[in-house]
Amino acid sequence: MPGSTIRPAADIELNDELIRLQKRSDSAWANLCAVQDRHGQPLQEGGWPPEGHEEWQAAWTVWGDRVDTVRAAISHWAGESGQRRIDIETRLKGEVRGGKDPQVWPEGE
């Protein structure tokens, strides 16, 4: 964004909606991981039963939809607030994930 400057993470403003959406996205990721843990590797001998594929596909779709929603909200907030999108996303993930490295996927819980 022309004229924007890099700001310290502590100075990046978030809003409650972004936090809520990121938590929902991370929750959907944890659910997807749980489905995979429950069924094992899809290419294991015998593979997954059809209902395992269906459950995984449904969880994947929910997670993808939530990721798209939070990304759109971040982009919108960046435009409104004049902050860089990457700075918002990094601060948001760090905030929601309790200060853990925001570039690491949340662990399935």
- For residue 107, the tally of other CB atoms under 10 A from its CB is 11
Q: What is the pLDDT of residue 109?
A: 44
Q: Is the pLDDT of residue 58 over 60?
A: yes
Q: Tell me, what's the pLDDT at 39?
A: 87
Residues 56-79 have a mean pLDDT of: 97
State residue 1's pLDDT score: 47
Quote the pLDDT of residue 8: 53
DSSP letters spanning 70-87: HHHHHHHHHHHHT--HHH
Averaged pLDDT, 74-101: 90
pLDDT surpassing 80 at residue 78: yes
- pLDDT given at position 47: 81
Helices (H), 1-109: 16-39, 50-81, 85-96
More confident residue, 3 or 18: 18
In the DSSP assignment, the letter for residue 108 is P
| Largest Cα–Cα separation, the chain | 57
Mean pLDDT of 58-84: 96
